[in-house]
């Protein structure tokens, strides 16, 4: 039987896109500027319907492209408004120039992002290549395993962005979550509004009593300091994210951290993964535990900032680790998550775990319990020392010449 976590919560059957739009309705930002793109289209479509029906007082700006969507959103934010948008894939790519400007100007925009493959070849299905391509843009990145997390992450993102003065994006896996109907617990409007509060920017362009300049030229004399401050703000935002999560748990009862540990504390083998596949992997961990295999899982929730010191402490005793990336870097080296996990461990002086890298699920390619069980089976062999860990990226469920 389904249980509620929040006393006043309401259990509903909703898709990932519907919960993103619902969170936006409850947050009721001053401005939303967006351009629809599969599979994020419904978020914008549902929200614009709220605007048309007078359900929200938000100003909705229909723009002609994602580049303009981000330009309008960041301009609104600079003017002092609480501003949001939503996009996916090619849309995020087209925004990239403006993403750096939003973070460089320290504007607390919140964006719903539905993870989708990038062309070419044309593909509308789920993988994380789009946000991984924006991972160094100075945005906080929060990933969701399911619709409940997407809803909860959106509500927290507003507070995180505004307290850290950093733009923040919240993702779901395209189609796998965005179009999957699941049970979600919604909280009443008044409780969400009380949690997100009112946006009171410290400085804003329409503050005529205290005029200031934003986005001026910044050459050899100050540019470096400002970019350093941005990098430092990302580092410092870990505390903001954890404090908001604590407050969220106190208010609504659901616990969030930088990452989730699932059966990890005594694990000898573990998978590190982001997004919906973590849920599929949990079912495999449960099966392995029943057989006495000490398998565990670490699910990254916040990828930017990367929880580098903390993750090293939690993986130090694991004998063999597989880092699963739903994006390839085409770098000749390793995929994005693997690079961050390994450098985090090495920087902490931890070199004992054997760590392998798998790329999976590009363009929505199926990843099921069988595939994940095979990875754990390989980890068992590596942990026992009967198989040498691969020294290059491995691929799951792909056809190729050996």
Partner 1 sequence: MSVKMIEVRWHGRGGQGAKTASLLFAEAVLATGKYIQAFPDYGPERMGAPVQSFNRISEDPITIHSGVTNPNYVVILDPSLMESVPVIDGIGTIGKVIVNTSFSSDEIAKKLGIDANQVYVVNARQIAHETIGKDIPNMPMLGALVKVIGTLDINDVLENTKNKLMTKFRHKLEVINGNLLSIKRAFDEVKSC
Under the rule (CB under 8 A), what is the footprint of partner 1?
A: 1-2, 11-13, 124-125, 145-146, 173, 175-177, 179-183, 276-277, 279-280, 282-283, 287, 366-369
Structure tokens at 36: 């629809």
CB of 200 to partner 1, least distance (A): 38
Structure tokens at 11: 């259990």
User: In the complex with partner 1, which residue's Cβ is closer, 77 or 276?
Assistant: 276
User: In the complex with partner 1, which residue's Cβ is closer, 113 or 173?
Assistant: 173
User: In the complex with partner 1, which residue's Cβ is closer, 183 or 347?
Assistant: 183
Q: Which of 72, 75, 108 is nearest to 215 (CA)?
A: 75
User: In the complex with partner 1, which residue's Cβ is closer, 20 or 101?
Assistant: 20
Give long-range contacts, CB 8 A cutoff, 24+ apart: 178-181: 178/15, 178/16, 178/17, 178/39, 178/40, 178/42, 178/114, 178/126, 179/15, 179/16, 179/17, 179/39, 180/15, 180/16, 180/147, 181/13, 181/14, 181/15
User: In the complex with partner 1, which residue's Cβ is closer, 56 or 372?
Assistant: 372
Provide the angle, in degrees to the nearest 10, between the axes of the packed helices 223-252 and 89-104. 110
Count Cβ atoms below 10 Å from residue 160 Cβ, excluding itself.
24
- The span from the CA of 387 to the CA of 402, in Å, is 18
Count Cβ atoms below 10 Å from residue 34 Cβ, excluding itself.
30
- The span from the CA of 62 to the CA of 223, in Å, is 34
Write the DSSP assignment of 347-377 as a string of letters.
HTT---SEEEEEE--GGG----HHHHHHHHH
User: In the complex with partner 1, which residue's Cβ is closer, 125 or 319?
Assistant: 125
**Alpha-helix residue ranges (DSSP H) falling in 53-173:** 66-79, 89-104, 129-133, 147-164
User: In the complex with partner 1, which residue's Cβ is closer, 15 or 103?
Assistant: 15
CB of 366 to partner 1, least distance (A): 6
CB of 368 to partner 1, least distance (A): 4
CB of 342 to partner 1, least distance (A): 26
User: In the complex with partner 1, which residue's Cβ is closer, 36 or 108?
Assistant: 36
**Would you say 182 and 153 are in contact if contact means Cβ atoms under 8 Å apart?**
no
The helix (run of H) or strand (run of E) holding residue 307 is: none
CB of 388 to partner 1, least distance (A): 29
User: In the complex with partner 1, which residue's Cβ is closer, 277 or 357?
Assistant: 277
The helix (run of H) or strand (run of E) holding residue 128 is: none
CB of 263 to partner 1, least distance (A): 13
CB of 367 to partner 1, least distance (A): 6
User: In the complex with partner 1, which residue's Cβ is closer, 235 or 255?
Assistant: 255
- Cα dihedral value 253, 259, 263, 265, nearest 10: -110
In sequence order, the β-bridge partners of residue 146 are none
In sequence order, the β-bridge partners of residue 170 are 112, 142
CB of 146 to partner 1, least distance (A): 7
CB of 252 to partner 1, least distance (A): 17
CB of 156 to partner 1, least distance (A): 21
């Amino acid at each position: 039987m389904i249980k509620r976590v929040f006393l006043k919560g309401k259990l509903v059957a909703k898709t990932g896109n519907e919960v993103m739009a619902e969170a936006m309705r409850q947050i009721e930002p001053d401005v939303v500027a967006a351009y629809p793109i599969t599979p994020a289209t419904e978020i914008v479509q549902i929200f614009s319907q709220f605007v048309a029906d007078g359900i929200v007082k938000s100003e909705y700006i229909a723009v002609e492209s994602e580049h303009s969507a981000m330009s309008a959103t960041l301009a609104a934010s600079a003017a002092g408004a609480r501003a949001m948008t939503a996009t996916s894939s090619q849309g995020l790519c087209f925004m990239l120039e403006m993403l750096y400007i939003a973070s460089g100007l320290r504007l607390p925009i919140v964006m719903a992002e539905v993870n989708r493959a990038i062309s070419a070849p044309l593909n509308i299905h789920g993988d994380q290549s789009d946000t991984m391509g924006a991972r160094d843009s100075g945005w906080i990145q929060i990933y969701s395993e399911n619709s409940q997390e997407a809803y909860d992450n959106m509500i927290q993102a507003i507070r995180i962005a505004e307290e850290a003065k950093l733009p923040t994006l919240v993702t779901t896996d395209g189609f796998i979550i965005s179009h999957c109907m699941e049970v979600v617990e919604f909280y009443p409007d008044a409780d969400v509004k009380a949690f997100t509060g009112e946006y009171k920017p410290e400085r804003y362009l329409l503050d005529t009593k205290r005029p200031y300049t934003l986005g001026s030229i910044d050459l050899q004399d100050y540019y470096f300091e400002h970019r350093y401050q941005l990098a430092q703000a990302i580092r410092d935002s870990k505390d903001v994210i954890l404090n908001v999560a604590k407050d969220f748990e106190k208010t609504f009862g659901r616990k969030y951290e930088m990452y989730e540990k699932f059966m990890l504390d005594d694990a000898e083998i573990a998978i590190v993964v982001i997004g919906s596949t973590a849920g599929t992997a949990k079912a495999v961990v449960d099966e392995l535990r029943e057989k006495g295999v000490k398998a565990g899982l670490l699910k990254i929730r916040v990828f930017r900032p990367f929880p580098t010191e903390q993750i090293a402490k939690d993986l130090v005793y694991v004998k063999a680790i597989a880092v699963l990336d739903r994006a390839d870097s085409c770098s000749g080296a390793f995929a994005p998550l693997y690079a961050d996990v390994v450098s985090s461990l090495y920087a902490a002086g931890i070199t004992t775990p054997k760590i392998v890298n798998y790329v999976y699920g590009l363009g929505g390619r199926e990843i099921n319990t069988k595939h994940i069980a095979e990875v754990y089976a390989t980890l068992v062999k590596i942990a026992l020392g009967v198989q040498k860990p691969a020294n290059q990226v491995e691929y799951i469920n792909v056809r190729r010449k050996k």
